[in-house]
Structure formats: structure tokens, C-alpha cells
Structure 1
């Protein structure tokens, strides 16, 4: 079974356990709970939420369905710390979707990119069966994919001022320090 067929099989196998919408709501709740437990109390989550929401609202979701789905998930106003972690997740999904598109553009599949980036053992840990060996030609392709990902992300972050980008970077570092 190739990687695409395996992904579809896993997705379909999960539906009898829980509808996708319910699973997404549970995952979002878990992300918020993790945020409340791990984000330091001195982080300005209100400012982070404002900047992150600007980015989320400005993001182009064309050809990025997983990001679009996560962006549509309700983010509670009464839980700013949990909402901050949920917004981190939504922005991570945007970058991840852009990266997958870049990986494919550069002639790699998701499994090969993971093996090149993290190694066969880690790819196995993530569920890839019999990860292939890395070839010399794959390494520059992954480097190019990283550059293309950054290029795809640049217009999004250009919606913030230089000062806001600096503040956002500091806030992300503070949020994820733990």
C-alpha cells in the first residue's frame, strides 16, 4: 500500500471511533489544556493572540485544507492561555501544509522527506512502514523544499510590521520555552 492509500485507510478507519469534527474538537481541547498547564504565567498571551489572529486571518487557505479546517475551529475568548496554544497549532498547520506542498514540488514524498530530515528510525516511530534509505539526490531536494516553504510563508508574516514580527517571535519563544 502506498503512502496516500495508507493515509486514506487510517482516516477511514478512525470514523467509526469518532466523527472527524468531534475528533478535531477533542484535539483542540487537548491543545488548550496543554497550554494552560505549560505556558508560563508571565507571557503576554493577549498580545500574542492578537498578532497570531492577524496572521491566521490573513493566511491564504487555498490548497491547504487541513489549515482551513483548523482555522475554522472555535477558539474560546474566555481562555486566553489555551487560545494561544490553539493559535500556535493553527499556524503550525499552515506551515506544515505549505511544507508538504513544497516537498512535493521538489520531487519528494512525505515519507522520503521525513527520512531525510529525521532518519528512518524516527520515520518508523511516526508509523511509516519500511522507510526507504536516503539517497544523495534527496538531500538538496529537502533543502530546496525548506527554502520554498519559507518563501510560501513570507507573505503571511509580511502582514505584520517589522516591530510586530519581532514581538511575535519573542512571544512564540516564550510560549514554547517549556
Structure 2
């Protein structure tokens, strides 16, 4: 992770981006999360995920939800969004999903982590963000975060920061001349892209891979102003806390 006394902005981003992403993935794919949705009345499938995660956008048409989130295939998003619509209003579904986020955090964040310090640093980052053109992040930032549940609040803040990077990455991908589908194929491969709802995605020409690499770099550049608000010592502390918070995650290569 580098010197714990000092950490430059892009070193910090390099240390925290993957753990934040993967910890969120663990939550979203956990059967315990799906069980929360089933108990709330959602049918099996993607209804709770789509209606809950994207409910912060309000009662939008499925095509608008698809345009905002980008990286999941449109059939997956449409089916999930419509399946969840009869269960509860979008705002209520988002609140239910936020509760599931916090519940998962209380189970999976190690008890010995200084979550109070993490919450202070993470909230400083979240408050510093410019949400223009990042509506999904803006919706999650506006979601109430209770003050009497520090571990759950830490997980919710991880989720909000994950949505910030995801929204920045979608903007970066498009700016670099790639579709979201092409970016998913380059990043994950054809088979994995299919799992995320893209039907029969074609391999992407190797000549387009540098565009995705530039999009990754540009994503860091879009996030850099947040981390510039922390002194280098606090960036090191934040990276250390992220590492401790997400220690239970099985990280891929």
C-alpha cells in the first residue's frame, strides 16, 4: 500500500478502488441480500436488486434507468425494474435496499475496525463530490444514513463511493468512444459479460483496448478531486481503513 504516513492521490485511488468495488459486489451477489428482498415481497430474480439499487432515481421508465446505469444489459434491467414495480414504490424500495446494505455491513465488516474514523473520512469525500452528470451517485448520496448504526453507515458509505466511481467510469467510457457493452467485454470477457445481461456480446477488437485503458485512467482523474480534499496522511489512513473494512472479501486478480 505504500508509506502509511504519506500517500499521493492516485496511489490512494489505486489502493481503494478495487476493494470498494469488490466489497459492493459481494453484497449485491450474496444470498443474504436476496433473502432481504424475498422477505420484503420481491419475486426471485433481479427485482429487488434493480428496484432497490436504482430506486433512488424515482419512478423512471426502464429505458431511463438503463441509460443512467449503463453497464448491465437492457433486458436484465428492464425485467428486474418491471418485476419490482408492483412490490413497492421506488423510494421505498431504495430505502429497503439501503437497509439491506447496512445489515450486510454489520455482518461482514470486522468488529475491530475504527468505523467512526472511517465514517468521518468517507463522508468528507462524499460531501466533496461534484455530482453533475452522476445521477445514480447523487441519488445514493441523498439517501438517509442513520447516525446510530456506525457499522451499517460505514457500509452505506462504501456503497455510495462505489456508485461514484461507477458513474465516473460510465462517463469516462463514453468519452473514450466505447459503448458500455464494449467496455464490459474488454474488462470481463464475452462469457462474463453475458452474465451481466448482455446477449451474445461480440469480442472487441484489440485496437480498442487502449480506449478502455484510457477510460480507467480518466475515471481516476474524475475521482481525484475527492481525494484531494484529504491531506496525504488522511489518505493513507483511509486506504488502511478500506483494507481493514473489506478484509473478508475474496479479491480477484
TM-score when normalising by structure 2: 0.66
C-alpha separation in 1, matches of 2:99 and 2:190:
32
1:169 pairs with 2:248: no
Give the secondary-structure state (helix, strand or coil) at the position aligned to 1:153: helix
C-alpha separation in 2, matches of 1:113 and 1:171:
30
Distance of aligned partners of 1:151 and 1:164 in 2 relative to their CA distance in 1, 3 Å threshold: same
1:106 pairs with 2:176: yes
> Comparing both chains, which one has the higher relative contact order based on Cα–Cα distances under 8 Å and sequence gaps of 6 or more?
2
**How far is 1:6 from its partner?**
2.7
Distance of aligned partners of 1:85 and 1:12 in 2 relative to their CA distance in 1, 3 Å threshold: closer
What does 1:1-178 correspond to in 2, within 5 Å? 4=67, 6=74, 9-10=78-79, 13=82, 14-178=84-248
Q: 5+ unaligned residues in a row in structure 1: which ranges?
A: none
C-alpha separation in 1, matches of 2:179 and 2:87:
29
Q: Please, which moves more after superposition, 95-104 or 10-19?
A: 10-19
**How far is 1:172 from its partner?**
0.6
C-alpha separation in 2, matches of 1:54 and 1:27:
23
Give the secondary-structure state (helix, strand or coil) at the position aligned to 1:137: helix
**How far is 1:11 from its partner?**
6.8
Give the secondary-structure state (helix, strand or coil) at the position aligned to 1:131: coil
**How far is 1:121 from its partner?**
1.1
Instruction: Kindly indicate whether the alpha-carbon contact (under 8 Å) linking 2:74 and 2:197 is maintained by their aligned counterparts in 1.
Output: no
Runs of 4 or more, structure 1, over 3 Å off, are 2-5, 7-12
Cα RMSD between the aligned structures? 1.8
**How far is 1:122 from its partner?**
1.0
C-alpha separation in 2, matches of 1:127 and 1:141:
22
C-alpha separation in 2, matches of 1:168 and 1:99:
21
TM-score when normalising by structure 1: 0.93
